[in-house]
Amino acid sequence: MGKNKKIPLRKCIVTQEMKPKQELIRIVRNKEGEVFIDETGKKNGRGAYLSRDKDIIEKARKSNVLKHHLKAEIDPALYDELKNLAEGAKHE
């Protein structure tokens, strides 16, 4: 009998839902204060997770939740990148 592999769960900072790590997008602030999307999920720095959903990404933009969670200024272009990622996930 094989052991069931444990699926890592993470919490979306907008919806507060626990979801498998693969269903979320990780955003990272590194020591230099740069904020970027971490597609590997392994980069060093303070991480925050968002659901791969355009509506949730829009809520994050309006509520500034990423700015508060990562304690850094968020470039508006990052939200456009996140939306493109969310759209790409739906086509797969």
- pLDDT digit string (tens) for 56-71? 999 999 999 999 999 9
Q: What is the pTM of this model?
A: 0.87
Q: How confident is the model at residue 6 (pLDDT cuts 50, 70, 90)?
A: confident
Q: List the domains of the chain with CATH numbers.
A: 9-91 (3.30.1230.10)
C-alpha 91 chain-centroid distance: 18
| pLDDT value at residue 42 | 92
| pLDDT value at residue 86 | 87
Rounded mean pLDDT, 31-56: 94
End-to-end CA distance of the chain: 32
